[in-house]
């Protein structure tokens, strides 16, 4: 079967020349020659997440806080720093406190819930006196947060929910941008990401591309995970799994599965995302694999088989960051 897409002829034998700043690769019938250049790229892992609303909303929400709430935020940050926890932990605690109590040290709540985080004596959080002591509450929140598996890679509101176990799990996301604004205002943490230098993508990415290339022409089926049919995230998961790296199942979960790279600096193997609201990862609905030279490989929609197409950098709904799966090793 022959498939023509974006001016690239795809048939049983596939020939694609892929050139990027850091990689020159030729793919022939699923076989690759890989010629890395000595190029360094920045890999950014999220310390904080602006999320819903962005900077303007964060500033507005912060301006409404009373003096008591600002004092509590300062203590959350101070204790987090003393414990050598990253800013993302501070953000989780601020979002939880704002949701549960409005960042107030309440002496009342639902049943026996009290304090900043509405902790309950009956659930083993501490004595009534302890649950009115602000430093105790903050330390206790951090103690429980650190026991949550992979809390650092979760969306901050989801990490807060893992601690609080609320019947309304999505409400913590509302205060993402406010928490980041407060941290930036109170401290010298002025960026929502921390970056380190990383060489071009390594053998895991190369191998994932090789496996993905072998799936060209297979049908798109929503919810399919391979090996005969795929949806968008199923194809990414399958390709990286065969390369030795387990990705989460959905495109929204895959957004949190690696380091963040500015979209224009994406390199082969990085994941690219589309969202109906680019400030909110909850609205991500599509993911594709970047190949370099403005080309992506994707399982797009029903009736369209797995294919390669040209990426238009001005496409609507494109997220501003690409994700480089964490376990990639430098070549």
Give the range with max mean pLDDT: 96-110, 168-182, 277-291.
96-110
Flag whether pLDDT at 81 surpasses 50. yes
Residue-level pLDDT at 56: 76
Residue-level pLDDT at 269: 94
124 class by beta-carbon count within 10 Å (0-12 exposed, 13-18 middle, 19+ buried) = exposed
| Maximum Cα interatomic distance, the chain, rounded to a whole number of Å | 73
Same domain membership, residue 178 and residue 277: no
Flag whether pLDDT at 86 surpasses 50. yes
Cis bond upstream, residue 169 (ω within 30): no
- Chain-centroid distance of CA 149 in Å reads 16
Q: Cα separation of 18 and 53, whole Å?
A: 37
Residue-level pLDDT at 63: 95
The residue out of 190, 217, 245 marking a domain boundary is 190
196 within a domain of the structure (yes/no): no
Contacts of 258 (CB under 8 A, 6+ apart): 271, 323, 324, 325, 326, 328
Higher pLDDT, 212 or 13: 212
Same domain membership, residue 275 and residue 254: yes
Q: What pTM value is reported for the model?
A: 0.51
63 within a domain of the structure (yes/no): yes
Q: Which of 95, 54, 56 is nearest to 320 (CA)?
A: 54
Residue-by-residue DSSP string for 283-311: GEEEEEEEEETTEEEE--BTTB-SEEEEP
For range 167-196, the mean pLDDT? 75
What percent of the chain has pLDDT above 70?
78
Flag whether pLDDT at 288 surpasses 70. yes
Contacts of 188 (CB under 8 A, 6+ apart): none
Residue-level pLDDT at 65: 96
Higher pLDDT, 227 or 43: 227
Same domain membership, residue 245 and residue 150: no
Same domain membership, residue 237 and residue 159: no
Flag whether pLDDT at 331 surpasses 70. no
Q: Using one digit for the tens of pLDDT, what is the confidence trace for 134-147? A: 999 999 999 999 99
What percent of the chain has pLDDT above 90?
56
Same domain membership, residue 230 and residue 131: no
Q: Three-state SS for 265?
A: helix
Same domain membership, residue 83 and residue 12: no
330 within a domain of the structure (yes/no): no
Q: Are 331 and 200 in contact (CB under 8 A)?
A: yes
| Residues of the domain holding 139 | 48-190
Confidence of residue 48 (pLDDT cuts 50, 70, 90): low
The total number of structural domains in the chain stands at: 2
For range 1-15, the mean pLDDT? 32
Q: Are 190 and 55 in contact (CB under 8 A)?
A: no
The residue out of 164, 190, 216 marking a domain boundary is 190
Same domain membership, residue 80 and residue 135: yes
For range 301-315, the mean pLDDT? 91
331 within a domain of the structure (yes/no): no
255 within a domain of the structure (yes/no): yes
Same domain membership, residue 110 and residue 17: no
304 within a domain of the structure (yes/no): yes
Same domain membership, residue 306 and residue 257: yes
Same domain membership, residue 186 and residue 55: yes
Domain with residue 16: its CATH number is 3.90.1720.10
Confidence of residue 185 (pLDDT cuts 50, 70, 90): confident
Residue-level pLDDT at 277: 85
Same domain membership, residue 210 and residue 264: yes
141 within a domain of the structure (yes/no): yes
Same domain membership, residue 173 and residue 52: yes
Higher pLDDT, 181 or 129: 129
């Amino acid at each position: 079967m022959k498939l023509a897409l974006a001016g690239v002829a795809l048939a049983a034998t596939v020939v694609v020349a892929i050139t990027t700043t850091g990689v020159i690769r030729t793919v022939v019938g699923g076989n690759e020659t890989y010629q890395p250049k000595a190029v360094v790229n920045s890999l950014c892992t999220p310390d904080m997440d602006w999320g819903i609303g962005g900077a303007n909303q964060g500033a507005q929400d912060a301006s409404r806080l009373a003096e008591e709430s600002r004092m509590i935020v300062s203590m959350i940050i101070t204790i987090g720093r003393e414990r050598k926890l990253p800013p993302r932990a501070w953000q989780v605690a601020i979002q939880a406190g704002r949701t549960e109590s409005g960042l107030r040290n309440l002496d009342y709540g639902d049943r026996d819930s009290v304090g900043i985080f509405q902790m309950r004596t009956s659930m083993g959080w501490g004595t009534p006196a302890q649950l009115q002591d602000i430093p105790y509450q903050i330390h206790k929140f951090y103690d429980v947060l650190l026991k949550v598996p992979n809390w650092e890679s979760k969306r901050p509101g989801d990490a807060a929910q893992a601690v609080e176990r609320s019947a309304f799990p999505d409400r913590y996301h509302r205060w993402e941008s406010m928490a980041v604004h407060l941290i930036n205002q109170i401290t010298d943490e002025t960026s929502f990401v921390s970056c380190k230098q990383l060489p071009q993508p390594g053998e895991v990415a190369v191998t994932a591309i090789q496996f993905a290339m072998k799936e060209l022409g297979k049908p798109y089926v929503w919810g399919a995970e391979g090996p005969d049919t795929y949806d968008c995230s199923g194809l990414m998961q399958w390709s990286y799994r065969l390369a030795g790296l387990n990705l989460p199942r959905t495109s929204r979960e895959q957004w949190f599965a690696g380091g963040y790279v500015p979209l224009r600096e994406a390199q082969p193997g990085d994941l690219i995302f589309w969202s109906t609201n680019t400030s909110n990862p909850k609205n991500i609905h599509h993911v594709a694999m970047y190949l370099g030279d403005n080309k992506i490989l994707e399982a797009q929609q029903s009736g369209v088989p797995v294919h390669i197409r040209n990426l238009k950098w001005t496409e609507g709904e494109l997220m501003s960051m690409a994700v480089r799966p964490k376990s990639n090793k430098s070549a």
